[in-house]
Amino acid sequence: MVQTSQTKLQPHTDDSSSRYPWLTGERQAQLRAILLGLALFVGLVVWVWHSFGVAEPEPSRFVRKLRIVGIMTWLYALLQIVDMRFWHSRFAERRRISMGIPERVIAWLFGQMLACFGIVYFAFTEDPRWFVAGVAMLLVTFGVFPVSRDE
């Protein structure tokens, strides 16, 4: 009888406690607060920068390209978040296992990515809508992927 060396992925197993023992539920709550605070602080810095009138908005050709990058960023992040929440594809499972951090932290980082793109867009265009949408999506990931207090 021939034995195969393939290991079957176990859905929703959380091996982060053995790989990152310091990443407890309390620390995850602190990490969540840091992610939100960082996004809001940098957004405030950009807003203050624009209120001084130091920078002029970029030309429209650059803004069009930046919007295309933004749409691709949003599509990628939303697909990954939906995948982690509902579909649990093998790609999401492999990413979670290889990173070794809880799925909720990965989802928060995708939300942070959207807020960071919003900051970049706001910095170049003086248009805060992408930033506000990114922060809103970050807050949505906090609600959809809550901190587990039993860890």
Q: Closest Cα partner for 121 from 109, 131, 112?
A: 131
Classify the C-alpha dihedral 77-126-136-35 as positive or negative. Answer: positive
Mean of the pLDDT values across residues 97-108?
A: 86
Classify the C-alpha dihedral 47-136-21-16 as positive or negative. Answer: negative
Predicted pLDDT at 8: 45
Contact 40, 47 (CB under 8 A): no
pLDDT above 80 for 117: yes
Give 86's DSSP letter: I
Report the SS3 class of residue 150.
Answer: coil
Helix axes 129-144, 103-125, angle to 10 degrees: 170
pLDDT above 90 for 19: no
pLDDT in tens, 32-61: 999 999 999 999 999 999 888 776 777 789
pLDDT above 50 for 9: no
Q: Higher-confidence residue: 9 or 96?
A: 96
Q: Give residue 71's pLDDT band: very low, low, confident or very high (50, 70, 90).
A: very high
In whole angstroms, give the CA distance from residue 111 to residue 108.
5
Q: Higher-confidence residue: 54 or 66?
A: 66
Predicted pLDDT at 113: 96
Give the global pTM.
0.78
Contact 58, 124 (CB under 8 A): yes
Predicted pLDDT at 11: 46
pLDDT above 50 for 118: yes
Q: Please tell me which of 2-11, 45-54, 61-70, 81-90 the model is most confident about, judged by mean pLDDT.
A: 61-70
Phi, psi at 94, each rounded to 5° = -65, -40
Give 53's DSSP letter: T
Averaged confidence pLDDT in the chain: 84
